[in-house]
Amino acid sequence: MKTKGAEDMGGSVLAVSLSERHTFSKQNRERVHLVKGLGVEGDAHFGATVKHRSRVAQNPNQPNLRQVHLLQAELFEQLKERFLIKPGEMGENITTTGVDLLGLPVDTVLTIGPTVKIQLTGLRNPCAQIDQFQPGLMKAVLDKDQDGNLIRKAGVMAIVLAGGSICPGDSIQIQLPEKPFKPLERV
């Protein structure tokens, strides 16, 4: 999986998904349309301000740093002995393949297809709904490194810099930010 340089191919889109309501899983689509500064058109998290219900309760005027949820399909492979998970079922809008999403720094720009540009803002913090979807899944998507730091494997969040439509099979190019890199943190 490549993660260096603006010209390197990072992988591709395996699936695109959305849900008009605040549901845990999202339905796969033939294509989705992303809108600059707002997210995935028609999705429950579409908007300039935060749409996640617990965050709205805290402060509905927070900027929406979670406009697009991306998840690496390689996670499904890692979990397949205990869990059967299909694209969109963990709530992601874009399921990727061939991209080490969790290894990218904050502010990385992904160019998807010919026009869409999204900027990574942080890691998805899985909530209790994940165990309602499949019992034990929360523990499976959380891990600890050798220093005891929590590792979140449930994908990354992004904002839309340039809109357009994307569909399965679209290429993903990775443009890293200027150094020093900042690691992704919970957002």
71: CATH: 2.40.33.20
Q: What pLDDT does residue 82 have?
A: 95
Q: Which stretches in the chain have pLDDT values below 70?
A: 1-9
CA distances from 27 to 30, 86, 126, 131 (A): 10, 10, 19, 19
Name the token pair of 180: 């020093």
Residue-level pLDDT at 170: 98
- Write out the residue range of the structural domain in which residue 21 sits: 9-175
User: What type of residue is 28?
Assistant: N
Q: Record the tokens describing residue 116, joined without a space.
A: 């869409």
Q: Is residue 83 part of a domain?
A: yes
132 falls within a domain: yes
Question: Strand locations in 81-123, DSSP E?
Answer: 94-97, 109-112, 116-123
Residue 185 lies in a domain: no
pTM of the model: 0.93
For residue range 96-141, list pLDDT tens digits in order.
Answer: 999 999 999 999 999 999 999 999 999 998 888 899 999 999 999 9
Q: What is the pLDDT of residue 4?
A: 44
Number of domains making up the chain = 1
Evaluate whether residue 88 is within a structural domain.
yes
Q: Is residue 106 part of a domain?
A: yes
96 lies in a domain?
yes
